[in-house]
Amino acid sequence: MELATYFWSVLQQDRAAVVICNLQHEIIYMNPAAVQRYAKRGGEQLIGRSLLDCHPPAANRRIEQVLAWFAASPQHNQVYTFRNEQENKDVYMVALRDEAGRLIGYYEKHEYRDLEQAPLYDMAD
């Protein structure tokens, strides 16, 4: 089995929303958590559309600034962009690079800070 299949499965199972964009800001992938999270904005119908259409002009300028910073150096790979107190999470923009280190896109990463409430090793159905 190809490694890509494993990576795809990781994204599919992640409980945090993952939205992947190419360098033209086109949404090329949304995991199920992202489809659900952004359902009121179109959910899966957002795939193929510009991420910039989903944000106000000030946010779009910041996205462009971050993308330029990513492009400036292969060591520039993650930027903290937002704190959501209501959901107790931090949001980051993360560079996506090919095997040669070339920038190929980016994604938004959500890191929730709540303690897990599930029991350890809870495998009940």
Q: Is residue 3 part of a domain?
A: no
Nearest by Cα to 95 from 85, 87, 103: 103
Q: Is residue 124 part of a domain?
A: no
The pLDDT confidence band at residue 117, using thresholds 50, 70 and 90, is: confident
Q: Is residue 119 part of a domain?
A: no
Region 54-64 average pLDDT: 95
- Note down the domain range covering 72: 16-112
Structure tokens that stand for 43 in this block:
């959910």
What pairs with residue 91 in β-bridges?
82, 110
Tally of structural domains, the chain: 1
Q: Is residue 6 part of a domain?
A: no
Q: Is residue 11 part of a domain?
A: no
**CATH number of the CATH domain containing 43:** 3.30.450.20
71 φ/ψ angles, rounded to the nearest 5 degrees: -70, -25
β-strands 19-22, 89-97 pairing: unpaired
pLDDT > 90 fraction of the chain, expressed in percent and rounded: 87
Structure tokens that stand for 68 in this block:
């330029």
Summarised one tens digit per residue, pLDDT across range 80-115 is: 999 999 999 999 999 999 999 999 999 998 999 888
The pLDDT confidence band at residue 116, using thresholds 50, 70 and 90, is: confident
Query: In angstroms, how far is the first alpha carbon of the chain from the final one?
Result: 28
Q: Is residue 121 part of a domain?
A: no
Q: Is residue 4 part of a domain?
A: no
Q: Is residue 120 part of a domain?
A: no
